[in-house]
Amino acid sequence: MLRHLALIMDGNGRWAKQRLKPRIFGHKEGAKKLREITEFCAKSGIQYLSLYAFSTENWKRPKAEVEYLMNLLGEYLIREKTTYLRSNIIFKSIGDISALSEELQQKIQSLEAQTQEQCNGMTQILALNYGAKDELRRAFVRLMEGGIAPNEPNQLSEQDISCALDTSKIPEVDMLVRTGGEMRLSNFLLWQSAYAELFFTQTLWPSFSVEELEAMMVEFHQRERRFGGL
């Protein structure tokens, strides 16, 4: 059963370069693709859609590009509010958003609160200033501050760790798709993707189609998932 789909949206910059456009043009088109794929997933019965939007490593990019991405995110959160409400989509962010501007944090928290109150359909999870290693670090800080087995580490369970992650109460990833031709996870949902079925495509994110995703979903249902058993 495909409950939780994760997407690494890679290739915006290369897509723009192929068209002799600046990288920011690719990011703008990538945001449009995000809406299309999100609406399709909401209609297809997927319960959770996780999207790698901005990683902890993305701060290393040129300052102008980072500023553009932050502005694009702010515009997206406002513009797409009607899409979330119309399509009954719950919005949730993961990652350390404290590094973002106060204005962006307020927009994120406002959209989370409004959709959680008014919607009960698919949950779209946007990973912002997110890195799986950092998520695990923050999870262990929470566990230590919460006093869970601080002096008896052997009593710490996998469930304790899962509950301390940003994705607490969200099922593990069933299917993970990366566009753009690279074949790595790039520090995205490492704990949650332990038994995910992995799909990689050469298609750059702005060119990724619903039809290609549908074909991957068909293959997903044809795979036999053993979870380490026979």
Q: Judge whether 10 counts as a catalytic residue.
A: yes
Nearest to 35 by CA among 23, 51, 14, 24: 51
Task: Find the catalytic residue in 10, 12, 129, 174.
Answer: 10
| Closest to 93 in 3D by CA, of 161, 12, 167, 39 | 167
**175 in Cβ contact with 197 (< 8 Å):** yes
Q: Which of 58, 96, 134, 160 is catalytic?
A: 58
Of the candidates 168, 170, 151, 152, the one whose C-alpha atom is nearest the C-alpha of residue 160 is: 168
Q: Which residues pair with 8 in a beta bridge?
A: 52, 178
218 Cβ contact list (under 8 Å, min separation 6): none
Reply yes or no on whether 71 is catalytic.
no
By annotation, the residues acting in catalysis are: 10, 58
